[in-house]
Amino acid sequence: MRNVGIYYAFWTHEWEADFLPFVPKVKELGFDQLEVNGGTIAEMKPADRATLAGAARDAALRLSYGIGLPAQYDVSSLDEAVRANGLRYMRRMIDAVGDMGGGTICGTVHSTWPATLPPGHEDKRRFREQSLRSMREMVKVAEDRGVVLLVEVINRFEQFMINTAAEAVAYVEEVGSPACKILLDTFHMNIEEPSIGGAIRHAGKHLRQLHLGETDRKPPGLGRMPWKEIKTALDDAAFDGSLVMEPFVMSGGQVGRDVGVWRPIIENPDLDALARASLKFVRANLV
């Protein structure tokens, strides 16, 4: 049965947060998995990481980790000093997650976010080559620590390197490691893919996790995303990974700014009630 999770930032205005209270909350709501900010995990004290991991373990709640690498840690940078800085940062994150029992780190682990092709460049191939160099170094560490890096396919308005499932498949096959897989996201696929079901099928065995959200970032079940098509494609691909809801409905703070929520997507939302109802929808329609 597919795990169903939710991203902590559904409830927050800032990326930095105390993750510990989310463990009982998310468990009580009925989820199997909690996704948190990998950057924060990397900076936490070892004792605090151990406490969080223990709480999740006691609650039988899986942890996963997301990151949009800041520009100073861009592992696809043509500036070797920046790339090296990014590799050190990712090593700390991988080691931290490894210390907590391993798992997945997803997002722009292959570049930086948000990002457009830098001025003066018309071709992304050099950045892709740098990214591949970095990923081949990172997966060596990840393999040893029980960590899998999930390359997220992101729309053209937020990132330039990997915008389609086909590009992601080509990338992970060039890396050639069991520690490098794919994260697809319904919000991004709705923008970039001519067929969402086709994208899922093409990712196939490389697909480890799917982020769920409606076309306007509402929780699943409140919009027009083709969920029946998505379910059929997941079944066709024999997908047995995690389904992680990643809705954003609140404006304000760094979270709202970074994901482009410039108005309340839902007025005066009861976030817990929304999460509970959407979880029921996902279990009925995607699991």
Active site residues: 152, 246
| Cα–Cα distance, 32 to 28 (Å, whole number) | 10
Question: 85 pLDDT band (50/70/90 cuts)?
Answer: very high
Single-letter residue type at 265: I
> pLDDT per residue over 212-250, tens digit each?
999 999 999 999 999 999 999 999 999 999 999 999 999
CB 203 within 8 A of CB 172: no
Judged against a pLDDT cut of 90, whether residue 277 lies above it is answered with yes
Query: What confidence tens digit (pLDDT) does each residue in 243-266 have?
Result: 999 999 999 999 999 999 999 999
Q: Please report the pLDDT score of residue 1 as a whole number.
A: 85
Q: Kindly report the average pLDDT of the chain as a whole number.
A: 98
Domain limits for position 13: 3-285
Which residues is 67 bridged to in the sheet?
107
Which residues make beta-bridge pairs with 207?
A: 182
Could you tell me the pLDDT band of residue 58, with boundaries at 50, 70 and 90? very high
Q: How confident is the model at residue 45 (pLDDT cuts 50, 70, 90)?
A: very high
pLDDT at 167 over 90: yes
Chain position carrying tokens 């490691």: 177
Q: Look at residue 60 in the predicted model and tell me its pLDDT.
A: 98
Total count of domains within the chain: 1
Q: How far apart are CA 248 and CA 63, in angstroms?
A: 20
Q: Which CATH number fits the domain that encloses residue 22?
A: 3.20.20.150
Rounded CA-CA distance 179/149 in Å is 6
